[in-house]
Amino acid sequence: MFGMEKKPKELKSFVFDLEKELSSEERRRELAKRIESRIHRIKDILHKGSKKEEFDQLGILLNGYHALAIVLGRATQEPKKKKI
């Protein structure tokens, strides 16, 4: 029904550009180091204080870098096997 009865012979998996870059351990460490340094720099700027508009933009940027760090951490872990 709806094309589900026919299974394709080969499923081509899509690989993101970030996944390709993370295949190298050296590149992975470099990205993690750069992300952490930017997070610390933004936090320092926020602690010093700034204008309301800049504060909001830096907060959004900080959340984005934090999310990227989480994705980077999860992407480097081995996928968990599902129990059926």
| pTM of model > 0.75 | no
- Token couple for 83: 């129990």
Name the band, by pLDDT with cuts 50, 70 and 90, for residue 6: low
Give the Cα-Cα-Cα angle 16, 75, 82 (nearest 5 degrees): 105
Residue spans of the domains in the chain: they are: 25-75
Q: Give the torsion sign (CA, 74, 78, 83, 84).
A: positive
Mean pLDDT of 35-64: 90
Give the Cα-Cα-Cα angle 76, 72, 15 (nearest 5 degrees): 70
At 15-47, the pLDDT tens digits run 778 777 778 888 888 999 999 999 999 999 988
Contacts of 69 (CB under 8 A, 6+ apart): 32, 35, 36, 39
pLDDT at 48 over 60: yes
